[in-house]
Structure 1
Amino acid sequence: MLWATWLQAIGTILAFVAVAIQIRRESADRKRIQQRMDQADLREQSSQIFAWAAILSEDDARQLGLAGMDTQGIFVVNASQLPIYDVVLSLVLIRGAGPHTGEQLVALGPEVADRDRVVRSVLPPGRWFVSFPNSSWGARSSMPGGEIAFNDSAETSWVRRVSGSLEQLSQNPLDALSVNRPFPEARLENLDPNRIQ
């Protein structure tokens, strides 16, 4: 009879241990799922921001309503429903000798950085074109690209590299890319005529 009581007590203890282990595993699983959901929420707006460089033919420029403008520049798409802030557009290289990131562009000095990047306080949703009339990236052996650094509406700082990768910045893009304040606002050409500029 004493054995039966001991066995029953040991069984009860083992059942409690098994339940505690199961609760701990489920809690860890829930925490991992929540972290993935939080990361997806964090990237929701930033994942909808894109930029790429182009040299437009006269026909393409006319079709886009950009006739008479300098036709080398960066196309920017803010496909989210909210504006982005502290936007720095850098004309860098996908391949070739020269800067491949905004940080490398800044390292070449203020004269080069000011020529091959533009800044906007706010970029509304929509499709935009920004011309770079004084850029020098037209060498045949190079392939230009557009990099965009910005703050999303939740004030999280991001950069979309020319490779397409999206990276979170540890500081405001204006600070990360050594933008002097006050700065001249870059002119945007609205490619969505039904949207407000």
Structure 2
Amino acid sequence: MIFGIDIDIANLIVQAFIGLVTLVALIVAFWQGSQSKRNREDDIKRYQPSRISAWYEGGRNRTGQPEDNRFVWQFVVLRNESESPVYGAIVTCVGISGAGPSFKGEDNRPVFPNRVCVGTLPPGAWYIWLPTEGHGMGVRTAPETAFTDANGTSWVRRGNGRLEEIPMEPASFYRLSLPLPWRGCEKLTE
């Protein structure tokens, strides 16, 4: 007897405690392994979309700018740094600040004129001319790009740079009527 407890009962309590600690350690290890696997799968899933970007680039030669004077035309660089093209790419002018267009392209009307249906965006650097309403009254805009990756998953790169998975292909996401006026893009010469 130790402290009034039978040695067999004390050993049983110690073994039960060790078993419980072992069980908790196994559960934690399994959870960490599962979490690590989910993180790796997410990294793989986001690899190609994370390599797609778009931005305005000023100071370019404007000789190729469309002559439609209803809009202020912005030179937009589209960069696909992955090894595969993305599909169904649509670029939309969205607001960043001020009383301009919506901050999310899907919140603009389906007939919103400040949008270009690019189609396939191959690897490399490309450009388009995006119609906008300009920058009066402190309005700041940016290009938002929606596309479907080579695995068939659709994404949107918001005007603020955030990448989000979307539940449907870009034309449906923006509620656009078919057929779409696909314009393509031009190779950027640096």
Fold shared per TM-score above 0.5: yes
Distance in 2, Cα, partners of 1:158 & 1:126: 19
Superposition pairs of residues 24-43 of structure 1, within 5 angstroms: 24-43=27-46
C-alpha displacement of 1:83: 0.8
Distance in 2, Cα, partners of 1:35 & 1:156: 17
Q: Partner amino acid for 2:134?
A: W
Residue 9 of structure 1 corresponds to 12
May I ask how many residue pairs the two structures share in their alignment?
180
Higher helix proportion (structure 1 or 2): 1
C-alpha displacement of 1:192: 5.0
Residues 53-95 of structure 1 show CA distances to partners (whole Å, capped at 9, x for unaligned) of 34x44xx32xxxx744346332111111111111110022322
Q: Partner amino acid for 2:104?
A: T
Q: Partner amino acid for 1:52?
A: W
Q: Is the 2:157–2:163 Cα contact (8 Å) retained in structure 1? A: yes
Residue 121 of structure 1 corresponds to 119
Distance 1:33 1:6, change over 3 A: same
Residue 49 of structure 1 corresponds to 52
* 2:168 paired with 1:165: no
C-alpha displacement of 1:46: 1.1
Give ranges in structure 2 of 5+ residues lacking alignment.
67-72
C-alpha displacement of 1:35: 2.2
Residue 173 of structure 2 corresponds to 176
- 1:17 aligns to what SS in structure 2? helix
| Percent of residue pairs bearing the same amino acid type | 26
Distance 1:136 1:18, change over 3 A: closer
Distance in 2, Cα, partners of 1:88 & 1:155: 15
- Given candidates 139, 142, 146, the residue that maps to 2:139 is 142
Q: Is the 1:126–1:192 Cα contact (8 Å) retained in structure 2? A: no
Q: Is the 2:98–2:137 Cα contact (8 Å) retained in structure 1? A: no
C-alpha displacement of 1:51: 0.9
- Given candidates 137, 149, 152, the residue that maps to 1:152 is 149
Residue 83 of structure 1 corresponds to 85
- 1:137 aligns to what SS in structure 2? coil
Give ranges in structure 1 of 5+ residues lacking alignment.
none
Residues 1-30 of structure 1 show CA distances to partners (whole Å, capped at 9, x for unaligned) of 993333333333322222111111111122
Q: Supply the RMSD in Å over aligned alpha carbons.
A: 2.4
Distance 1:9 1:93, change over 3 A: closer
- Given candidates 88, 105, 108, the residue that maps to 2:108 is 105
- Given candidates 93, 96, 106, the residue that maps to 1:94 is 96
